[in-house]
Amino acid sequence: MSRPTVVARDLSRSFGRFVAVDRVSFEVAPGEIFGFLGSNGAGKTTTIRMLCGLLAPTAGAATVLGLDIATEAVAIKRRIGYMSQRFSLYGDLTVEENLRFWGGAYGLFGEAIATRMEWGLDVAELAGRRRSLVRDLPGGYRQRLALACALLHDPPVVFLDEPTSGVDPEARRRFWDLIDGLAAAGKTVFVTTHAMDEAERCHRVALMHAGKLLKLDSVPRLKAAFAAGTVVEVRCPDPARALRHVESTPGVSDASLFGDSLHAVLDRPSRRAELAARLDAAGFAPARVEAIEPSLEDVFIHLIAEAESEAA
Amino acid sequence: MLRRTFAIAVKELLQLRRDLRTALTLIVMPVLLLFVYGYALSFDVQHIRLAVVDHDGTQASRDAAQAFLRSGYFDLIAQGQDERMLDPLFDRGAAQAALVVPFRYASDLSAGRATTLQFVLDGSDSQTATTILGYARQIAASLSPLVDVGAASGPIVPVPLVWYNPDLSSTRFLVPGLLAFILMVSSVIATALAVVREKERGTMESLRATPLVAVELLLGKTLPYLVVGFVSAGGALLVAHLLFDVPVRGSLFWLAAVTLLFLAVGLAWGVLVSTIADSQQVAFQLALLSSMLPTMILSGFIFPISSMPAFLQWLTRIVPARYYLVALRGIVLKGAGPSVWWPEMASLGVFGALLVAIATARTVRSL
């Protein structure tokens, strides 16, 4: 494998006494879609801002494309693309004017920007609306345009901070098709999200919670953390009331409501029959307990529960 | 570096063109303010209610009364031959001033003897009374060197000779100050808002992620406002010249040069405000307060700096308009060249450089 695009070693950032990012270490390979998954306040944005040279770490170190984030921030900024969580386009400028401006901010002029602008219009699928004001565009198009603006200078790595927040599911799917295309073209994509379905599309996912990196692996291997047959779906009448009985059953952990059913993790597959019998006896007949393929959310809930019981 | 600065300046101008309300406010407002305040703001007193008591009843005494009325400052409200008519007029406030022409006024004049016109004033507003007395002295002196108002002072009567502003029009003195005041306030507000707007909308975060450095960013953001401010300064000066008879006796080149320097300092001040404020609302209030009050009170616009207490005199040094006003009044009223006002402009330049350094350092820290 060639040299990693991003290397973080014990990267930390505190604000006063609050530790936003706590000794986080990881490596991101070229061409990889690297997902940072976690709830709001888990430290995802703080990490991405440090990597982009917008925020100095209080401890630890990191390199991006071999450049030190503490001392070579300007050189890093020239070589990366960044799409912030907040709206990064000018609503009172047209599609073309936004592209030209952001290209100019990265030092693209004349022939260079003209070529890249056509590329950007193509990516954003806005060639027909180049003279529309950005504030008149639907959210999905704005998001694609923002990504195009961040890629005008053709950086080898792009950092996307919750790029699809506030966008409808169809636009979100199409945005991720775009990300797949970038990775296929050899670009490294570092993306934060709190949506599980998006994390499933990443090559590797880092699970963040309360500033700490809980686990980092590919999605199938994260799911393999559970022994076969131990993640179950419980179907019974009145699941909301049954939740308490499931939780109090010995050998059952991480019980949670999942639509009109319950998900739970068992310490061994043989507990399935025991659990069904117990629920039947408690008046929730007919109860069915079936082994299922664990979702990323199951993994996430399990890891957070584990981390919190360790901390307590 | 120049190209990236240029990219920002172009973007700023495009946004300004879309936001016609702001653009018009920036260009037209100074001219409009000058127009309105130029008429309202004046220490000159007009339509003074005058009563005339003529004891002499000659052609010469009637000429004296006419001279007062023709001056344009006085309106005749009562006329008679007996001083006793004056008391009720002053008591009711119907008269502000009275002219009493003595017996033998005409014969004294023709015999070459000094004579005195009695002038009665309502002194309850001393500022106005002093101004009116000044007018009366001038008019009396224009009648004959032998005529004085007030106590008789012998045959030799001092005749004041006023330079630069012969009719002592306060408008001519105040309009340059007003111009400086308006330019300062509008340039500070315009830049402070322009920078804080990016913070508020969230685009600042993306700008910071680009290779743009603070100097490029600030130059690109402020240069368009320098141009806009310069255009509106030209418009305001034209209004001052056409409507308020403010002459431009000195060189237009130097006038443009000192105005550009002054505007640049105002922009730096605005950037400094933007590093403190996080919302456009706070930025607006901070910009307004920090530019309006000092320029109004401490620049010499209305109150002469030399008559301030020592502490306030010292404080005026951080008011950019104080330096600009010396050069501006010098150039437009006296036709003075750089040899006269260069120390003030040098001070303004040093002060401006200091402001730029602080504003840039603060912006870098927030980047």
Nearest-by-Cβ selection for B14 from A53, A74, A93: A93
| pLDDT tens-digit map of A35-45 | 999 888 899 99
Q: How many CB pairs (< 8 A) connect A and B? A: 74
Nearest-by-Cβ selection for B211 from A88, A93, A106: A106
Per-residue confidence band for B157, with pLDDT thresholds at 50, 70 and 90: very low
Contacts of A97 in chain B (CB under 8 A): 11, 14
Q: What is the DSSP letter of A133?
A: B
Contact B130, B45 (CB under 8 A): no
Q: Which of A279, A295, A271 is nearest to A243 (CA)?
A: A279
Task: Say yes or no to pLDDT of A1 above 60.
Answer: no
Cα separation values, B359 from B134, B166, B200, B214, B219, Å: 48, 44, 19, 10, 12
Task: Say yes or no to pLDDT of B156 above 50.
Answer: no
Nearest-by-Cβ selection for B211 from A90, A103, A107: A107
Contacts of A53 in chain B (CB under 8 A): 209
Q: Which two tokens stand for residue A25?
A: 């270490």
CA distance B203 to chain A (A): 5
Q: What is the mean pLDDT of residues A100-119?
A: 92
Contacts of B210 in chain A (CB under 8 A): 77, 102, 105-106
Question: What single letter denotes the amino acid at residue A42?
Answer: A
Tell me how many degrees the CA angle B247-B250-B251 measures, rounded to the nearest 5: 125
| pLDDT tens-digit map of B291-333 | 989 998 898 888 888 888 889 999 999 999 999 999 998 998 8
Tell me how many degrees the CA angle B242-B245-B251 measures, rounded to the nearest 5: 85
Order of strands, edge to edge, in the sheet holding B74-80?
A: B74-80, B48-54, B97-101, B115-121, B147-149
Do the chains contact at B11 and A97, CB–CB below 8 Å? yes
Give the lowest-confidence range in A16-25, A170-179, B124-133, B344-353. B124-133
Q: What is the mean pLDDT of chain B?
A: 85
Contacts of A87 in chain B (CB under 8 A): 201-203
Do the chains contact at A106 and B19, CB–CB below 8 Å? no
Do the chains contact at B203 and A104, CB–CB below 8 Å? no
Residue B107 contacts by C-beta under 8 Å, 6 or more apart in sequence? none
Q: Which of B271, B111, B129, B105 is nearest to B188 (CA)?
A: B271
Nearest-by-Cβ selection for A84 from B3, B7, B209: B209
In this prediction, residue A259 carries a pLDDT of: 84
Q: Which of A62, A81, A80 is nearest to A70 (CA)?
A: A62
Q: What is the mean pLDDT of residues A264-288?
A: 88
Do the chains contact at A104 and B8, CB–CB below 8 Å? yes
> Which residues of B lie closer than 8 Å to A, measured between beta carbons?
3-4, 6-8, 10-11, 14-15, 18-19, 201-203, 205-213
In this prediction, residue B168 carries a pLDDT of: 55
Residue B173 contacts by C-beta under 8 Å, 6 or more apart in sequence? B165, B329, B333
In this prediction, residue B150 carries a pLDDT of: 58
| pLDDT tens-digit map of B71-94 | 888 999 999 888 888 888 888 888
Nearest-by-Cβ selection for A84 from B3, B6, B202: B202
In this prediction, residue B149 carries a pLDDT of: 63
For A301, list phi and psi in degrees, rounded to 5: -60, -40
**Quick one: CA dihedral B139, B145, B147, B151, positive or negative?**
positive
The pTM for the full model equals: 0.78
Task: Say yes or no to pLDDT of B143 above 60.
Answer: yes
In this prediction, residue B349 carries a pLDDT of: 95
Catalogue all structural domains in chain B, each as residue range(s) with its CATH number. Answer: 2-41+169-366 (no CATH), 48-143 (3.40.1710.10)
Q: What is the DSSP letter of B308?
A: S
Do the chains contact at B205 and A86, CB–CB below 8 Å? yes
| Measured distance CA(B331)–CA(B341) in Å, rounded | 9
Interface test with B, best of A77, A83, A111, A143 (most B CBs within 10 A): A77
Q: Which residue of A has its CA nearest to B18?
A: A92
Contacts of B206 in chain A (CB under 8 A): 82-84, 86, 88, 102
Which range in A117-121, B107-111, B141-145, B198-202 is most confidently predicted, on average pLDDT?
A117-121
Q: Is A31 left (phi over 0), alpha (psi -120 to 50) or beta?
A: left
Cα separation values, B326 from B182, B340, B348, Å: 16, 9, 11
| Measured distance CA(B73)–CA(A201) in Å, rounded | 86
